[in-house]
Structure 1
Amino acid sequence: MPVFASDMISSVAYAPDEILLALSLSGLVALTVSPWIGLAVGIVILVIVACYRLNLQAYPSGGGDYAVARTNLGTRAGLVVAASLLVDFVLTLAVSMTVFAGYIGAMIPEVKPYKVAIAVAGILVVTLAGLRGSASIRRMLAVPTYLFVLAVLTTVAVGTYRVATGDTPVAATSGYAVLPVDEEDTALMGLTAVFIVLRAFSSGSVALAGVQTVATAVPGFRSPRGRNAGITLLITGALSACMLIGLTWLSARIGIKYVAAPTEQLVAEAGRPIAADFEQDPVLGQLAQAVFSGFPFMFYVVAGVAALVLLVAANTSTEGFPGLSSRLARDGFLPRQLATRGDRLTFSNGILLLAGAATVLVIVFGASVPDLIELYLVGVFTAFVLGQLGMIRHWTVRIRRMVSSPVRRRMQLNRVVNGIGLVLTAGVLTVVLVTKFTGGAWIAIAAIAVLYVLMGLIHRHYRRVDSELAPDEDDVSARTLPSNTRAVVVVTDIHKPMLRALAYARTSRPTFLDAITVAVDEEAAEALQDRWDRMDLPVPLTILDSPYRELVRPVMNHVAELRRRSPRDLIIVYLPQYIVGRWWENVLHNQTSLRLKSRLLFVPNVVVATVPWRLRSFTRAREQLLRRAGDVDAESFRELH
């Protein structure tokens, strides 16, 4: 639970904020409405958990709604779900780190102006932890989750006791009143109270986001995976629902306010405006300050644990996003580099892509939680709807194949449960699209659409390449040898790397062997020819004319002429290349070889052979460079010279 379900647990740290924020847009009194919205969201959590327990039992191999939708509804539906989940994982990391910055600011008010930098630093920490991929880190990350559950339940219990005994806590915003924002700014949101309540309900439904993480990460559980993941989901759902209901009820009894623009929407007693420098803390932070008013140390404990659990929740994205992207890469819908693991057995490419996308979102939206939440819910509930629809088809197909039996009746009951889940999630998705489309949901829809099209194009490309490369049954290309082999050694000067390239070319025993140089400077070319003759090198040297003092074009023309005269011959071009030990040395060396190599790759029947020569700078930094390479075993190369 603490490793894979902390995303769902941690959403309790900001779901009450979103409920109160949505209610405040019309000046509604959250004291009477927010507890019922919290209760409704809690019920939806439990229903969705029940639905996804059935998903995990039917598809214990993982993949979540992507596997369910693709298997039962087809590839297109699966791609829509996959695009939605990828967007969801990126937003999970961005939202978690933005809220993390908010709790750090609640503990240390002086750093509130630097919330973007704090959020980006949090992403960096989570990325490094994900790249490390150690099991000990997972066990360490479990501690904040347990502490957060304990802190929230303790806050609710103490607050409830104080309310029951008549000692109702007073929060920093308890005495303030909420003013509605201008009607022209609220657009549709100011039309009816029902619309505002529905918006608040959809905002609170962000607490459901972590369900997908558990469903996608099933392969990470111990056997029996489906059963263990289902138990984890049940425990997590029950805890999340209880904590959310408790926090929304207690915040309403205390009278906590949370608005988009505190200095514009909050007024003190008798209509007096509040201080211009007033900054509101998250709802959980305000609750902790009020409930533990006589023991302020507990506020720092609750806020600190909330910040830590958000780091853990962000870590679940480094499990879910790379796992799903690797599966999509294996299916041919994403670049295949995302399917490979790094030297620490983590999908490092996927983790880096996730971190980069989340960092861009945090910077572009200025680490604003409400703005990011507007994007968050579309992907989550799109995957929910298609996943539940796929499960209904899953049970329908199996029920048709089975005669009356207890198993068949159980499947019918499962279909009813998934049907209820479909109705609920489709309803929430509709509310999200209607209430949040202009507020930013359209950005998430556009991102999902772009990802969908991009994955389709990638898959089409891979299929076209596979079809092009597939050999025919009577393909004789592997048994047909070229008429001759022609070796060409490119000479820029007479030095050790060139002599080694010449020796390698001779060792390959080609039919024809030639060395070529380009006469950029005629005097230098004549001096090179004289020295070549004095050394009595056993290969003829051909000097290519270069009237415009170019190096690459004359060599390309020479190779093209060889191809024109003997189109069935294989031409091997030998290029010396320096292996350096410092990054800046690459700027000073190998530029001509790299340009020539890139051009020769376009010529048919031409093979480019790179002959390495290691400079002393490489020898000095040998161990460090081998370790940095990552794909080689330094021990195996230590004794080589």
Structure 2
Amino acid sequence: SNIGSAIPFVATHKVLFAVVAIAILTAINLRGIRESGTAFAIPTYAFIFGMFAMLAWGLFRTYVLGDDIQAESAGFGLNAEDEHLYGLAFAFLIARAFSSGCAALTGVEAISNGVPAFRKPKSRNAATTLLLLGSIAIVLLMGIIILAQKIRVVYAHDPAHLVGAPADYHQKTLIAQIAEAVFHGFPIGFFFITIVTALILVLAANTAFNGFPVLGSILAQDRYLPRQLHTRGDRLAFSNGILFLSGAAIAFVVFFGAEVTKLIQLYIVGVFVSFVLSQTGMLRHWTRLLRTETDPAQRRQMMRSRVINAIGLTATGAVLMIVLVTKFFAGAWIAILTMVAIFVVMKLIHKHYDSVSRELDESDWDGVLPSRTHSLVLVSKLHLPTRRALAFARATRPDTLEAVTVNVDDADTRKLVREWENSEINVPLKVIESPYREITKPVLEYVKRVRKDAPRDVVTVFIPEYVVGHWWEQVLHNQSALRLKGRLLFEPGVMVTSVPWQLSSSTRAKQAADVNAPGSVRRGFERPGRRE
């Protein structure tokens, strides 16, 4: 909205702008912790400097110089839905405003979550940073309120409630209206404030990129999420968690049309549910320790901490109840339903991992080796990949070895048989008929017949495969091999071996990838075989 106030194109393409912003945040976080911290610090300092400069100059002009600064909406009025609210309706309005205000202060938990990232002494540096954050937030908020009242800014959640506004009036954000009035005649100042404000709001989403990948790694380690979320990338960031979060964020933004009033309901419920759970956990933690602690000084400290957490639980619990009551049908129900669904999915994932673990650990292997091995080499043409697959199959020294081809075209099959008979290859070629010109099913039936004749034997199927360097080449090759491998893996007593044949495009792709191979930056390699 802030950039949209200065650039109308952004206002009319909010979804596109939000998706691009998420993609940029994802790319920066994938670069690593140190690089992302530097990139995010510059817009933060620019926002703080710009806001203090705007408020100082605006208050100086209005209170010292006596300039009559007016916002573009100073002459508008407000058409309230109900001008007189009493009793329960007024309390309901105050409660809803209180819950919305609390949502604006939830950024402070980012510091408490990031205490391990501070320098020693960590707790003192984190407390100092939290104090500075609170002081800056209070000063900026009070300055904005005072200056907005002085220049008579009129802002409505629904512009239709503005009285006296033109029919084609595009309402700017509160910050944009103040910046436009204070820096009137100086457009650079207006654009600077709107841009850095939009950047800081975009970077506020980085809290999730810092928290979720770590949380996802812990849950994955405890087998409540897929194990892929537990691994780190080349730059020590949880790359899979970052990518998963960005995909989910883009899906929500597109689904809700990048409307803040709709998305904020999900945010408020999620944040205050976590607050209530964390405060409850700390309350139980101190109560458990007090049962066994005998030192009076330690008991007093624990009791004081328990009181603080009890107050926090009361406050956050009250806000959560207010949010659920006041904003349930405004979108809070989606957050509740999503959390319940995530909980069920996590329990199912944990159950699956437990069942797989029991199945693998409790099963006793009898240690009986197969009596014989049968090797089958799938053949489509007599070319170099086929010859390599035959050579690899011979190297395994099987008891029996034969080549197998499926007759999907009579002319091609007869040509292959002639070439096979005229070659120096002494491996027999088995031709399997396929009336419906299908490859997978005839091969599966033949493998099953071999297994049925000798159940204690192992059948090894060698499949020549092309190694390509581009994704679009993968679409053009290996499709029959992928389908066949997928079906053969379900057959007991059948081993599938892929015999790769590197095409020229794969060689070029490998050379390009080796320049920045995974882990090379962390290990200090400029290129393979050379250490800086």
Corresponding position: 1:174 with 2:74: yes
Corresponding position: 1:265 with 2:161: yes
Paired residue for 1:213? 110
Over the matched positions of the two proteins, sequence identity in percent amounts to 46
Q: Contact 1:171–1:256 (CA<8 Å) still a contact in 2?
A: yes
Distance in 2 (alpha carbons) for counterparts of 1:501 and 1:170: 82
Ranked by relative contact order (alpha carbons within 8 Å, sequence separation 6 or more), the top structure is 1
- Correspondence for 1:592 among 472, 480, 485: 480
Q: Which runs of 5+ in 2 are unaligned?
A: none
Q: Contact 1:395–1:414 (CA<8 Å) still a contact in 2?
A: yes
Runs of 4+ in structure 1 over 6 Å off: 188-191, 631-634
Q: Contact 2:324–2:332 (CA<8 Å) still a contact in 1?
A: yes
Paired residue for 1:487? 375
Distance in 1 (alpha carbons) for counterparts of 2:474 and 2:421: 32
Corresponding position: 1:576 with 2:464: yes
**Partner of 2:104: helix, strand, or coil?**
helix
- Correspondence for 1:238 among 117, 128, 135: 135
**Partner of 2:225: helix, strand, or coil?**
coil
Q: Contact 1:216–1:324 (CA<8 Å) still a contact in 2?
A: no
The offset of 1:191, in angstroms, is 6.7
Describe the shift of the 1:254–1:411 C-alpha distance in structure 2 as closer, same or farther (beyond 3 A). Answer: farther
Corresponding position: 1:567 with 2:455: yes
**Partner of 1:547: helix, strand, or coil?**
coil
The offset of 1:498, in angstroms, is 0.7
The offset of 1:423, in angstroms, is 1.0
Paired residue for 2:349? 458
Task: Figure out how many residues of one structure are paired with residues of the other and give that number.
Answer: 524
Paired residue for 1:39? none
Corresponding position: 1:133 with 2:32: yes
Describe the shift of the 1:260–1:196 C-alpha distance in structure 2 as closer, same or farther (beyond 3 A). Answer: same
Distance in 2 (alpha carbons) for counterparts of 1:377 and 1:190: 26
Corresponding position: 1:121 with 2:11: no
Q: Contact 2:515–2:527 (CA<8 Å) still a contact in 1?
A: no
The offset of 1:454, in angstroms, is 1.3
The offset of 1:334, in angstroms, is 1.3
Paired residue for 2:446? 558
Instruction: Give the letter for the 1:590 counterpart.
Output: N
1:100-157 deviations in Å (ceiling 9; x for gaps): xx11122234543223222222222212212222624422321221232233334444
Q: Contact 1:189–1:196 (CA<8 Å) still a contact in 2?
A: no
**Partner of 1:602: helix, strand, or coil?**
coil
Instruction: Give the letter for the 2:265 counterpart.
Output: E
Instruction: Give the letter for the 2:398 counterpart.
Output: P
Corresponding position: 1:350 with 2:249: no
Q: Contact 2:214–2:238 (CA<8 Å) still a contact in 1?
A: yes
1:401-422 deviations in Å (ceiling 9; x for gaps): 1124222111111111111111
- Correspondence for 1:200 among 72, 83, 97: 97
Q: Contact 2:2–2:175 (CA<8 Å) still a contact in 1?
A: no
- Correspondence for 1:506 among 387, 394, 415: 394
Describe the shift of the 1:448–1:289 C-alpha distance in structure 2 as closer, same or farther (beyond 3 A). Answer: same
Paired residue for 2:49? 150
- Correspondence for 1:280 among 166, 171, 174: 171
Q: Contact 1:626–1:634 (CA<8 Å) still a contact in 2?
A: no
1:157-201 deviations in Å (ceiling 9; x for gaps): 444555655656422223322112389xxxx99972222122112
The offset of 1:445, in angstroms, is 1.4
Corresponding position: 1:302 with 2:186: no
The TM-score, its normalising length taken from structure 2, stands at 0.90
The offset of 1:384, in angstroms, is 0.7
Describe the shift of the 1:296–1:524 C-alpha distance in structure 2 as closer, same or farther (beyond 3 A). Answer: closer
Paired residue for 1:614? 502
Describe the shift of the 1:189–1:524 C-alpha distance in structure 2 as closer, same or farther (beyond 3 A). Answer: farther
- Correspondence for 1:445 among 324, 336, 340: 336
Describe the shift of the 1:545–1:381 C-alpha distance in structure 2 as closer, same or farther (beyond 3 A). Answer: same
The TM-score, its normalising length taken from structure 1, stands at 0.75
Describe the shift of the 1:536–1:279 C-alpha distance in structure 2 as closer, same or farther (beyond 3 A). Answer: same
RMSD, matched Cα: 2.9
Corresponding position: 1:410 with 2:305: no
Q: Contact 1:217–1:323 (CA<8 Å) still a contact in 2?
A: no
